[in-house]
Amino acid sequence: MPYQRVLLKLSGEALGDPQTGHGLDTDAVKRVAAQVAHVASLGVQVALVCGGGNILRGAQFSELGTNRASADYMGMLGTVINGVALSEAIEAAGAPTRLMTALEIREVAEPFVRRRALRHLERGRVVILGGGTGNPFFTTDTAAALRASELSCEVLLKATKVDGVYTADPKLDPSAERLPRLTYMQVLERGLKVMDGTAITLCMERGLRILVFDLFREGNIERAIRGENLGTLIQA
């Protein structure tokens, strides 16, 4: 395997209703869990960060009048709900897990401690990281870049609904072209909506590769880890 330790970033919508992206859809959770458990069975160390947009987006909720910091904490709790669902589903699919959170919720999960997370990975457990960074105003993309850096992951796998980064939205512009390779600076300069600027900058500073690929094609997580040519690779 080209990659031995990876961080998988999922959107909350990947676990939601296939039509709306809202709530938790049992079949969607099981499909993702089966792919993750299979990859873990191959001996790859997997850390996982999931967004909470299927439950609540702090930035959007704050537009209704809620204080932004409070709205972001609500979003962080949404990621913990998703983390519990993923933990149960991945274990049911045959892989041991540990849910760790940036917010301390000891009855639900372990608090995130870097050395403890590394020990879990080395023992073959899928480490699910909830609660974002634990701070408001930061996205779960930034949390993924931060945790991947802390845990010395070799690549950040950004799983999406499309098969890579395009010159425009392929759903709106049929002439949009997929970009198989990009540099961090090209993403920032072109304003490509891959991850937020803070996450891209952190990956650039750490030299952390980002692979953007289609989650919904069966087996793509394994293909990504095997280094097959798919999606868009972002690197120096």
Sequence ranges of the binding site: 9-12, 52-53, 57, 72, 133-140, 160, 166, 169
Amino acid identity, position 225 = I
Residue 10 tokens, joined: 């999922």
203: exposed, middle or buried (Cβ count in 10 Å: 0-12, 13-18, 19+): buried
CA distances from residue 62 to 28, 58, 73, 137 in whole angstroms, order as listed:
28, 6, 11, 11
Annotated binding site for UMP: 52, 72, 133-140
Annotated binding site for ATP: 9-12, 53, 57, 160, 166, 169
What values do phi and psi take at 211, rounded to 5? -115, 120
